[in-house]
Chain A
Amino acid sequence: MTATFVILLAVPLVAALACLWSPVRACQAVTIAAGVASFAAVCVLVPAAAHHDVTLGRYVRADAISVVFLLATSFLYAVVAAYSVGYFAGDASSADFGRYARRFYAGLNLFAWSMLVAPLMSSLALLWIAIEVTTVISALLVAIEDTDRAVEAAWKYVLIASAGLGLALLATIFMYAAGAHVLGQSYDLTFAELLRAGPHLPRTVVRLAYGLAVLGFGTKVGLFPVHTWLPDAHAEAPTPVSALLSGSLLAVSFYAILRYYQVSVAALGPRFPQGILLAFGIASLLLAALYLFNQGDVKRLLAYSSVEHMGILAIGVSFGAPIALAGVLLHVLAHAAAKGNAFMGAGVLVRKYQTKRIARIDGGLDLLPWSGPLLLTAVLALSAMPPFGIFRSEFQIVAGGFAAPRNVAAAVLIVAITVAFLGLSLSANRMLLNSHAKRLPRGEPSAWMVVPVVAGVAALVLLGVHPPAHLTELLVRGAAELRGVR
């Protein structure tokens, strides 16, 4: 297992350094290799983490919950690395592309590294640090296109997310103070210790820490009303970065909330932590479902769909039933694959039509023999159609809601998901099914932009139809960890 951890902690970092001095082709090869190696390493971790915690030293630790988030991140890392080859194929002739590409690939590897490090940290303090690192690196990646809009998005993002993380840092400090009552004045703030100390922690301090953590990390998750940076950053970043932002970065920040949730449930019982998540989740879901109507920009459309799905995650956790919690963890994986696919498909449209305006894109199914249908499947998958993974996960979450029983919240969830489906499919309909007016030539910009999406569809079908046995064990154990029974 040590080797696995070393691969996850070192390979992306080495790849990032290598990209600073390599020609573009080598950067791309190194990035793909690092992505595939990371994904393979996480897959090796799955059977072990399904049965026991895996640790390396004092500060590195993986349990079932962390491995779920590692799986999502490393999968997207690998597919996005391959996709980026096709995405930049048209730019390779321009003069300063070499410099741009080196910075892009170094940044992409660093970004993936920071998101792989965060779930591996055993201490809440180190977790906060890793998440702050994800913010600053991704802010640079949002700004990398160096247009007016990209710079504006990056500044909003870095300022709002950093301010949110300032609150999360305050939460970390308060959680430290809570633990210090039981564990002594000087300790490492590992959540294993905090969980064991749970019932003896001072309740007021834990409440304060949890509230601040949900608001602070929630800023990066994109929960209403602190989601305002999210559509801008997702829309203006290069598409491979948008896919990573939406599929992994939001999820990794949600992972931090889950850790605080675990400690709070141990200290306070489930009522208070679940109530807060339910409020944020419902608000985010409703807001996003309404914003999905009449959205003019295809990438902003998908960004609001991310807010919607983060709301679903928060609601799922607030139900607290085992089946809902397993559904939440499955939803993290399925959303990563589906949203990655949707962004990658939208990226093909943007390359083909040279615009992000939905009104100026038409006839996608006619013009793009592969990417058109693939984007359609991604939109259907995001809308929880069978046989894709999100159908299974949302079904579990809703079933958990009725089992909890939280009938009203479950009903609101179903209605809002349906509204979101309408908004999303109206726009998809306009872009893909209308007949094409402008006489662009039929054909795909690059095969590199198709193969990763096919991999994503395969993953979605696998998750929806028959998840592998080890993965199911992992999700069940993760749900048990979230409920505090092990």
Chain B
Amino acid sequence: MAGAWLAVRHAPGALAVSGVPSVFNGSANAVAVVVLLLEFGMFRQALLRDQIRLYAAQSAAVSVLAVIVAAARHVPELYILAALSAALKVVIVPLVLRRLLRGAGEEIAGSGALSLATTVLLAIAVGAFGFFAVGTLGIAGVTLPQTALGLAMAVVLVSFVLMIVRRDVVSQAIGFFSLENGVSLAALVIAAHMPLILEVAFLFDLLVAVVVFGVLIRVHHGRAESLSTSELTRLRG
């Protein structure tokens, strides 16, 4: 066994097969895991300001991963995409949200519909389901290992839990934005070569969505005089 491994290891050109990719795969997976952990971190943040900070960190991690892919897989467009998405998701979106918070004068996120422990257990179950379900489908990544695709799916599903259990508009909006981070992560795994114009259009669209979310958060705060959604129970049936 070891002999065969060594033979492959030292064959000419084999470095690209067994050496570099493992380092690359390892670091890529590590960054993807960081994205997922930051998603989980959002559950325990009671301060909305910290939650926005976590979202910025998560977006930064996705951008870093884009740079890693761009360098290792020679996809120069991804540098531009990484820069644009960092500008939008690490700088602009958190700025917009923080300004909204300052206007609202509220700091504490609305309590969850479930207790924290239950929520995290639920999120672990849902995330594990996403991770393993995508694993069984055997969809090969083009630029990144398949593990990263499973992690991306877990991020998407966990962000749904965040949107569902949190009871304030800012946390729910951040849940949606981090859902988009999960999709970006998936795109890096299986659609990294997508034409830049389409990717930029997606980002522009996100910008529009952020502005509209901001307007609606402000309108909601103007009417309800709080960021909580617990009063939103008038429409039924």
Residues of A with Cβ closer than 8 Å to B? 123, 125-126, 129, 132-133, 136-137, 139-140, 143, 146-149, 151-156, 158-159, 162-163, 166-167, 169-170, 173-174, 176-177, 180, 185-189, 202, 204-205, 208, 231-232, 235-236, 291, 295-296, 300
Residue B160 CB within 8 A of the other chain:
yes
Q: Are B190 and A176 in contact (CB-based, < 8 A)?
A: yes
Residue in contact with A176 in the complex, picked from B173, B191, B205, CB distance below 8 Å: B191
Interface stretch (choices B3-11, B28-36, B58-66, B136-144) = B136-144
Nearest-Cβ distance from residue A305 to partner chain B, whole angstroms: 15
Q: Are A151 and B183 in contact (CB-based, < 8 A)?
A: no
Residue B38 CB within 8 A of the other chain:
no
Given A149-B235, A163-B176, A208-B137, the answer on whether A186 and B193 have CB atoms closer than 8 Å is: yes
Interface stretch (choices B98-106, B111-119, B210-218) = B210-218
Given A148-B223, A173-B183, the answer on whether A143 and B216 have CB atoms closer than 8 Å is: yes
Some 19 contacts from A to B, beta carbons below 8 A apart, are A125-B202, A143-B216, A147-B223, A148-B223, A149-B234, A152-B234, A155-B229, A163-B176, A166-B179, A169-B183, A170-B156, A173-B187, A174-B139, A177-B139, A180-B142, A180-B190, A180-B193, A185-B193, A186-B193
Residue B37 CB within 8 A of the other chain:
no
Chain A residue nearest to B149 (CB atoms) is A177
In Å, the complex CA distance between A295 and B236 comes to 11
Q: Are A155 and B234 in contact (CB-based, < 8 A)?
A: no
In Å, the complex CA distance between A143 and B219 comes to 8
- Among the interface residues B186, B191, B220, which one has the most CB atoms of the partner chain A within 10 A? B191
Contact residues of B between 196 and 217, Cβ < 8 Å to A: 198, 201-202, 205, 208-209, 212-213, 215-216
Q: Are B186 and A153 in contact (CB-based, < 8 A)?
A: no
Contact indicator per residue, chain B 128-160, by CB within 8 Å of chain A (1) or not (0): 000000000111001000000000000010001
Q: Are B183 and A166 in contact (CB-based, < 8 A)?
A: yes
Q: Are B235 and A139 in contact (CB-based, < 8 A)?
A: no
Q: Are A204 and B176 in contact (CB-based, < 8 A)?
A: no
Given A162-B176, A180-B193, A205-B139, the answer on whether A125 and B235 have CB atoms closer than 8 Å is: no
Q: Are A295 and B139 in contact (CB-based, < 8 A)?
A: no
Residue B69 CB within 8 A of the other chain:
no
Residue B19 CB within 8 A of the other chain:
no
Residue in contact with B212 in the complex, picked from A136, A173, A231, CB distance below 8 Å: A136
Chain B interface: which size bin? 35 or more
In Å, the complex CA distance between A129 and B195 comes to 15
In Å, the complex CA distance between A153 and B229 comes to 12
Residue B12 CB within 8 A of the other chain:
no
- Among the interface residues A156, A177, A188, which one has the most CB atoms of the partner chain B within 10 A? A177
Residue B13 CB within 8 A of the other chain:
no
Residues of A within 8 A of B48 (CB): none
Nearest-Cβ distance from residue B130 to partner chain A, whole angstroms: 11
Residues of A within 8 A of B194 (CB): 125, 176, 186, 189
Residue in contact with B139 in the complex, picked from A153, A156, A204, CB distance below 8 Å: A204
Q: Are B235 and A133 in contact (CB-based, < 8 A)?
A: no
Residue B163 CB within 8 A of the other chain:
yes
Residue B172 CB within 8 A of the other chain:
yes
Residues of B within 8 A of A300 (CB): 237
In Å, the complex CA distance between A156 and B169 comes to 10
Nearest-Cβ distance from residue A243 to partner chain B, whole angstroms: 19
Residue B50 CB within 8 A of the other chain:
no
In Å, the complex CA distance between A120 and B180 comes to 25
Residues of B within 8 A of A296 (CB): 237
Residues of A within 8 A of B2 (CB): none
Contact indicator per residue, chain B 168-184, by CB within 8 Å of chain A (1) or not (0): 01001100100110010
Residues of B within 8 A of A125 (CB): 194, 198, 201-202
Residue in contact with A186 in the complex, picked from B156, B172, B195, B213, CB distance below 8 Å: B195
Residues of A within 8 A of B209 (CB): 132, 136, 162
Residues of B within 8 A of A169 (CB): 180, 183, 202
